[in-house]
Structure 1
């Protein structure tokens, strides 16, 4: 009877550890991406030029704002 309790406690601790680790890693990645966005204005400008568009500063600012709004959600 004692080994069943040990197994149940170990299983509960494992599930709690996995859940806690997931949420900590998620929070860390969200803050990391907020501080270090994966794309900046220069990358966006290069991408638009490769697609055959002439990027204006207004268009780049609009796209950066849209990406930042998407990250905040």
Structure 2
């Protein structure tokens, strides 16, 4: 009878640990991506030049704004 309780407590602790670990990892990753966005203006400019487009600052600002709006809508 005592071994059943030990197993149940171990399973409960494992489940709680996995859930807490998931949320901590998710929060950490969100903070990292907020501080270090995957694409910045320089990367966008280089990518557009490689595609044969001459990037204007207006076009780059539009694309950055669209990407930021997309990231904000994904958070909600």
Q: What range is the shorter-chain TM-score in?
A: over 0.9
Structure 1 unmatched runs, 5+? none
The count of aligned residue pairs is: 73
Q: Match for residue 55 of structure 2?
A: 55
* Aligned equivalent of 1:32: 32
CA RMSD of aligned residues (A): 0.8
Q: Does 1:70 align with 2:70?
A: yes
Which structure is higher in RCO with an 8 Å CA cutoff and minimum separation 6? Answer: 1
Contact (CA 8 Å) 1:48, 1:54: kept in 2 or not? yes
TM-score (norm 1): 0.93
2:13 is matched with 13
Structure 2 unaligned blocks of 5 or more? none
Give the Å deviation of 1:52: 1.1
Per-residue CA deviations over 1:15-73 (Å, capped at 9, x if unaligned) read: 11011101111011111111111111011000001011111111100111111112222
Asked if structure 2 preserves the Cα contact closer than 8 Å seen for 1:34 and 1:71, the reply is: no
2:43 maps to: 43
